[in-house]
Amino acid sequence: MSPEVAGLQHQAEAAGVSFHVIHGARALLGLVTAADELIALGDGLFVSAPQAVALLGQGQGVLVQPIEQGLAAGFERIDLNHAAAAAMRVPGRLVERMAELPADCDAISALQRIALQAGIPQRPLPPLGQDGVFWSLIRSEADAQALEPVWIRQRTGGGEALNLSRGIARSAVHAYGPSLLHAGSGAGSVVIAAVVLAVLGLGSGWFGLVPLGLICCALGWIVREAAVMLARIQSDAADRGGIGLSRRAAYGWLIDGIMVALLAWNAAPAGAPFDPDRLFPPLMLFALLRILPTAIDHRWTVWLKDRAVVGLSLAVAVMAGVGSEAVHLAALALAAGGILVSSLKARLTPP
């Protein structure tokens, strides 16, 4: 019972599942009945969990792959054209035949042969790289270390158009993600860092340091993108939804609200009382930043969603002494751009 197996046992029993550790293939005889189904996975098998669940969920079968692909990855040969994939779903009645085999036999290999001889169909894996399938064997720590960067790149690539924040966050996750994941902190600590940066941004504005507050918001946005990518790696979610759409959207609203407050403070003369009218220009700016990417389907609108670009641009304008003017001009430019693009789209669309 290694610590990893003990941890798995605790998780299983906490979920109300029976957990047994056995030391040989014949011990299955007392645990599996003819009415059961058995899912067997080979030692060291490393796969994309959603893809494995989808393949095994199609019904009973022995998963196989092309011979060249399988042998190169270290899988067992089955026949002239196929290699094993070290995963199968078979009827429990086949376990009875394990009693006829030596006690020290390889349980997975033996069960696979028994299943194929009993007529259990073969189910081929999709080609590697298609639909994100990742299927390999890890036999040593060196194999795991070699595979880890590839796995991280696959989990952080695609899905969303790239902008400045996602590009920086992806580079940071590739460089420091493995260390965070090995330390056990992962996405959780990065989410906390993003929230702390947002709060620091609000506090900076309260003390009159509006450019610093905008920079903190921009950094917080980048850190949030990194947290989303780390969460995808940890959960291996099929939809790659990260830390949850609701929480992700909530952080976006938080950053927008803080930036609106910062810009309103910047527009107020020193020592002047709070005037709600100063909220109107930044509110219109951020409303347009949210509306246009939804209303206009263009690749460039992904940059309007990038609050790091917005925050840094506004910070530069505030430091140059033209923060209020930049807010007004940006809002007017977005409104004019939206009207122009909508007009062109209406002309190109046949009645």
Q: Which domains does the chain have, with CATH numbers?
A: 3-137 (3.90.550.10), 141-348 (1.20.120)
- 280, burial (CB in 10 Å: exposed 0-12, middle 13-18, buried 19+): middle
pLDDT of residue 239: 43
Residue 322 tokens read as: 């033209």
Q: What element of type H or E holds 317?
A: helix 307-319
Burial of 310 (0-12, 13-18, 19+ CB in 10 A): buried
The answer to whether 170 and 154 have CB atoms below 8 angstroms apart is no
What amino acid is encoded at 280 in this protein?
F
- Rounded to the nearest integer, the mean pLDDT of the chain is 85
Contact 168, 218 (CB under 8 A): no
Give residue 349's pLDDT. Answer: 54
Q: Which residues of the chain have pLDDT under 70?
A: 128-133, 158-160, 184, 236-248, 270-272, 298, 344-351
Q: What is the pLDDT of residue 73?
A: 84
Query: Beta strands of the chain (E only): which ranges?
Result: 37-41, 45-47, 61-66, 82-91, 122-124, 135-137
Structure tokens at 213: 């507050």
Model confidence pLDDT, tens digit, residues 312-343:
999 999 999 999 999 999 999 999 988 887 77
Q: Which two tokens stand for residue 349?
A: 């669309």
Note whether 210 and 327 are within 8 A (CB).
no
* Helix 164-183 / helix 307-319 crossing angle, nearest 10 deg: 110
**Three-class SS state of 77:** strand
Question: According to the model, what pLDDT value does residue 246 have?
Answer: 46
Total Cβ atoms within 10 A of residue 189: 14
pLDDT recorded at residue 3: 86
Distance, CA of 308 to CA of 226 (rounded, Å): 13
* Each residue's pLDDT tens digit, 34-77: 889 999 999 889 888 888 899 999 999 999 999 988 888 889 99
Q: What span, in angstroms and rounded, lies between the C-alpha atoms of 132 and 145?
A: 20
Copy the structure tokens of residue 230: 């780390």
Tokens 């899912």 correspond to 39
Q: Which two tokens stand for residue 100?
A: 């006829």
Residue 349, phi-psi category: left (phi > 0), alpha (psi -120 to 50), beta (remainder):
beta
Structure confidence at residue 39 (pLDDT): 93
* Token duo for residue 181: 């994941």
CA-based nearest residue to 289, from 245, 249, 338: 338
